[in-house]
A and B are shown apart, each in its own frame.
Chain A
Amino acid sequence: MSHTRLLSVIVPACDAAATLPAALAAIINSGLPRDQYELIVVDDVSTDGSAEIAARYADTVVRLTGRRAGPAYGRNRGAELAKGEILGFVDADVRVKPDALSGMLMLLAGDPSLAAVTASHHSATLNNLATQYWSLLLRFGEMTQRSSGGDLGSPCALIRREAFFSAGMYDEWRFATAPLEGVELGNRLGSMGRQSVLLLDSATVALGRKNVRSLVRGMWNRSSLLARSLGYQRTREATPSDAVFTLSRSMAPIFAALCGVGFTASFVAEPNLVLEAAAVLMGAIVLNSPIYAFFARARGVAFAIAVIPLHLLMQAVSATGLCAGRILRDAVGDCVPDAATQAYAEVGVNTWPPVPRSPAR
């Protein structure tokens, strides 16, 4: 019953019925011999039948009960059951390309010093404008900035078992929601001197559709959590490819331009607000020109022009989120679970599923 396999693919799922069949089918059809890997799906209290859908494909389905605990917690529970020497973490809303897993495995096999390999985001999704914009934004960061540490925030990551457990697994205590638990684990691996790489040609395709609202909410969570729990400067040094830094890189000059125009206007008796707003807007577009040029090359000039308002909105949301996270960090402190969870963890009650574990304990 406990024979070892080369790879354990762990997929955390929460109300993922819409995308899970395609995500799991892509793993099954990835060309790896079926006896070389096991597929574990951890269902985080779904109400849409995700566990039953997972059973159509998986070797093991873990049904979590109680309150939803987030993907970091789910991945850790899956890893505890996994028998593979290499642990693969794949999101439930992405399709891995057929050769991605085998290519990543080959890279790990060829370099024993490598602790982890991650797959990049693919830009060729056939979804709506918001989804395409998000994929391209992530892709731009991956192509222009190389992380010195390991960016395990990718939707598909392979980690050596011993590296994963020696790093202390995902931080399920602080990261009850996506999406920075992978970035944090990558930074921890990097600080231990363990190397990880991003494979640009081993890509994943997003299956879920995004809209402006979900993008804004996601970017707010990402930016505020990054500033509150990880620290802006430290994370920027370790993982400069993250979308938050892609957005914030040109924010400081834009803010400076805004201040400059405002300062100049204060000396004018009757300032022309329309002209000044247009000047700031033009400055923002010029400062963002590298990413707009990337959008134009990938999807055409019309697409690049169409996403300008969305990109500026995302920059504003990200900057506000970073400020809010910093203020929360100083005023309230780092993220911690609710009082009941802390109390259970303090007492050390032995339950299944277990109470989220603090890395400090």
Chain B
Amino acid sequence: MSLIVILPENHIVSPDSLAERLRPSDDQDVDVVVACAGQPTNLTALQRSIGEAQFLLAPAGTSIEDLRELAMRQSGGDIVTLVNGAQIPAASVESSLVMTS
């Protein structure tokens, strides 16, 4: 089984919810591919919570569909589940831009 997490720009996935999805249900190994367009905001937290995941860092602006196709090529599972990250609220993006500038 494979789990593909799609993170376009300004999208995020909570490490806790990811860990919840990966909780073994019937002793099956799940390989995780996280496909990001650009650098995700919580990359370090994700790497810490799912250490064995494969991270695909595509150029910023890569579309969701292209990320999904790229990640599918990298995944090896017979059953592949694809989930999209949630969009970061616009206010949060603006505040992070202010903080980094």
Identify the A interface with B (CB < 8 A).
1, 51-53, 55-65, 81, 352-353
For the complex, what is the distance from the CA of A326 to the CA of B3, rounded to whole Å? 48
Which B31-89 residues sit within 8 Å CB-CB of chain A? 65-66, 68-69, 71-73, 77-83
Is B72 a contact partner of A62 (Cβ separation < 8 A)? no
Of the candidates A52, A55, A57, A59, the one having the most CB atoms from chain B within 10 angstroms of its own CB is A55
Instruction: For A55, give its contact among B4, B21, B25 (CB under 8 Å).
Output: B4
Contacts of A56 in B (CB 8 A): 65-66, 68-69
Chain B residue at minimum C-beta to C-beta distance from A352? B78
Is B82 a contact partner of A59 (Cβ separation < 8 A)? yes
Instruction: For B68, give its contact among A55, A62, A63, A353 (CB under 8 Å).
Output: A55
For the complex, what is the distance from the CA of A65 to the CA of B25, rounded to whole Å? 23
A-B Cβ contacts below 8 A, count: 46
Identify the B interface with A (CB < 8 A).
4, 20-21, 23, 25, 65-66, 68-69, 71-73, 77-83
Contacts of A64 in B (CB 8 A): 78
For the complex, what is the distance from the CA of A52 to the CA of B69, rounded to whole Å? 5
Chain B residue at minimum C-beta to C-beta distance from A65? B78
Q: A1-B20, A1-B21 are in contact. Are A55 and B79 (CB under 8 A)?
A: no
For the complex, what is the distance from the CA of A243 to the CA of B84, rounded to whole Å? 43
Chain A residue at minimum C-beta to C-beta distance from B81? A60
For the complex, what is the distance from the CA of A61 to the CA of B79, rounded to whole Å? 6
Q: From residue B60, how far is it (CB to closest CB) to chain A in Å?
A: 19
12 A-B contacts (beta carbon < 8 Å): A1-B21, A1-B23, A52-B72, A55-B68, A55-B72, A55-B82, A56-B68, A56-B69, A59-B81, A59-B82, A61-B79, A63-B78
Instruction: For A51, give its contact among B4, B23, B72 (CB under 8 Å).
Output: B72
Of the candidates A61, A63, A65, the one having the most CB atoms from chain B within 10 angstroms of its own CB is A61
Is A62 a contact partner of B69 (Cβ separation < 8 A)? no
Contacts of B21 in A (CB 8 A): 1
Q: From residue A82, how far is it (CB to closest CB) to chain B in Å?
A: 12
Chain A residue at minimum C-beta to C-beta distance from B78? A63
Instruction: For A60, give its contact among B20, B69, B79 (CB under 8 Å).
Output: B79
Top 6 A-B residue pairs of the complex, sorted by shortest distance between their CB atoms = A55-B72, A56-B65, A61-B80, A55-B68, A52-B72, A52-B69
Q: From residue B49, how far is it (CB to closest CB) to chain A in Å?
A: 16
For the complex, what is the distance from the CA of A177 to the CA of B44, rounded to whole Å? 49
Is B78 a contact partner of A62 (Cβ separation < 8 A)? yes
Is B78 a contact partner of A55 (Cβ separation < 8 A)? no
Q: From residue A48, how far is it (CB to closest CB) to chain B in Å?
A: 14
Q: 5 extra interchain contacts, Cβ-Cβ under 8 A, other than A1-B23, A59-B82?
A: A55-B68, A56-B69, A57-B65, A63-B78, A65-B78
Instruction: For A61, give its contact among B23, B25, B72 (CB under 8 Å).
Output: B72
Contacts of A61 in B (CB 8 A): 72, 79-80, 82
For the complex, what is the distance from the CA of A356 to the CA of B66, rounded to whole Å? 34
